[in-house]
Amino acid sequence: MALGSELRIAVLPGDGIGIEVMEACLEVLETLAKKTGIPRLAWNKLPGGAIAYRNTGTALSDEVMKDIGSADAILFGAMGMPDIRYPDGTEIAPQLDIRIEYELYAGVRPIRAIPGAPGPLNDPRSEQIDFVILREQTEGLYYSRGRGVMQDADTALDTLRITRSGCERVFDYAFRLAAQRRKRGWPGNVTCVDKAGVLKSYAFMRHIFEQRSGNFPGFRSACANIDATALNLLLKPWDFDVIVTENMFGDILSDLGAGLIGGMGFAPSGDIGDRHAMFQPCHGTAPDIAGSAKANPTAMFLSAAMMLDWLGEQHGNARLGAAAQILDGAVRGAFAGGKLRPCEFGGRDGTAAITRAVLSELAKA
C-alpha cells in the first residue's frame, strides 16, 4: 500500500484514565515523529464512550464509526463506566462494536516483562517473561453480547459460538506470530487454550487447531485446558510463547498476564483484522484512580509502538518499524534499574513522571 505524506490516525480517548493516558501518548508520539522523520501523524480526535452515551444517548455515532473505517489506524484509550449501562444491564463497550464492525479478529496481547519495573513474582526468571496471548475477538462466548435471552423469569441463556472460518483465521495468525517471534529467538510454540473435555464448541475448536497446525510443520503445537493454563501462567510464565484462545478466555488470561508483569498499566494490545487495526492498552477506564493522575501510561505507549510497527508492515516503511523500536527502547530505558515506581505497585510515580522519563529517554535515543 503506497504511503502518502501523512498517516491519518483515528484517536478515541474514551472515558476515565483512557483520556489521561491518551494525552500523554500523543505528546510522546509527536516527539517521536519529529525525531525519527516518520510521516506526519494526523490525529482525528473522535468522541465516544460511556460519558458520551450518558450525555447524548449514543455511545459511538454512525459518523464516528465511518471515520474510524477511513483512518490508517485506530488509537484507542478506554471506554466504559460501571454505573452507566444500557437498559438490558450491560455496559457501554464501543470497543467491542468496533472489533465486530471492522472484523478485528486477532487480539494480540504481548505480555513482556520490562526489566526494572516492579512485579509480583519473587523469581529472577520473571524478567524473562515474554509471551503473547492471541484472543479470538469476533465470536466465542462474547458472540452472545446483545443476543442473550431470558428463557423465563429465572433463567438467562447466552450462546458460545465457534466457527471453522473464525478458528482457522486466528490459528493461522497464531502460527504467523510464532514465525515472527522465532526470528527473535523464541522456539515457535503455539498453545491452543480451551476446555475441550467439557463443551462441544471447545472440542470442535481443538479439532480445528489440530488440523490447522498440520499446515505449519516445524512449529510445536499443543492444546491445554484453560484452568491448567491459569495455574501454569502463574507457576512458569517464562515457558509460554504464543497462546491462542477463545474470546472470553483471552479476556481473562490477558489480565492475569498483565498482573504477572506488574499490572494493567504494562499490557498493550493490538486488535487486528485483514484491513484495519486498533491499538489500545488492555486496561479499562479505572474509575478508582481516574482524575488522580496515578494512571500508568506505559501500556498506552507500547500500544502506540505496536501501531507504528503494524503501519510500517502495511506500508513497507522501515522507518515506522524503527520508530516503534525506538519508542519501545525508551520505555525500557525509563524503567531500567528500578528508576520508576508506578502508583499501581504502591510507588510514587504517576502519569506525568512516567511520561517525563520516557520523553527524556527519547531525547537521548
The residues binding ligand NAD (CB under 6 A) are 17, 78-82, 91, 95, 263-265, 280, 283-289, 295-296, 299, 344
Question: Which residue matches cell numbers 505507549?
Answer: 301
Q: How far is the CB of 316 from ligand NAD (least distance, A)?
A: 30
CB 6 within 8 A of CB 56: no
CB 266 within 8 A of CB 347: no
User: Which set of grid coordinates corresponds to residue 160?
Assistant: 458460545
* 125-146: b (≥16 Cβ within 10 Å) or e: ebbebbbbbbbbbbbbbbbbee
- Closer of 224 and 305 to ligand NAD (Cβ): 305
> 212 or 283: whose CB is closer to ligand NAD?
283
The 10 Å Cβ neighbour count of residue 215 is: 11
Residue located via cell numbers 506526519: 40
Distance CA 363, CA 207 (A): 51
Output 13 or 166, the one with its CB closest to ligand NAD.
13
Shortest separation between residue 12's beta carbon and ligand NAD, angstroms: 9
Least Å distance, CB 76 to ligand NAD, is 7
Residue 31: strand, helix, or coil: helix
- Least gap, CB of 322 to ligand NAD (angstroms): 27
Nearest CB to ligand NAD, comparing residues 247 and 285 = 285
- Report which residue type is found at 95: Q
Closer to ligand NAD by Cβ: residue 111 or 264: 264
Nearer to ligand NAD, 244 or 264 (CB): 264
Q: Looking at beta carbons only, is 38 or 299 nearer to ligand NAD?
A: 299
Q: Which residues of 148-186 are buried (b: 16+ CB within 10 A; e: fewer)?
A: eeeeeeeeeeeebbbeeebbebbbebbbebbeebeeeeb
Minimum Å distance from CB 65 to ligand NAD?
A: 16
Place of cell 471492522: 102
Element (H, E) at 250: helix 247-260
Dihedral over alpha carbons 189, 192, 196, 200 (to 10 degrees): -140
Task: With beta carbons less than 8 A apart as the criterion, state whether 273 and 288 touch.
Answer: no
Nearer residue to ligand NAD within complex by CB, 167 or 272: 272
Q: What gap in Å lies between CA 165 and CA 220, rounded to an integer?
A: 22
CB of 96 to ligand NAD, least distance (A): 8
| Minimal distance, residue 338 CB to ligand NAD, in Å | 18
Shortest distance (Å) from residue 79 CB to ligand NAD = 4
Other beta carbons less than 10 A from residue 251's beta carbon: 19
Name the closest residue to ligand NAD (Cβ): 284
d(CA 229, CA 225): 6
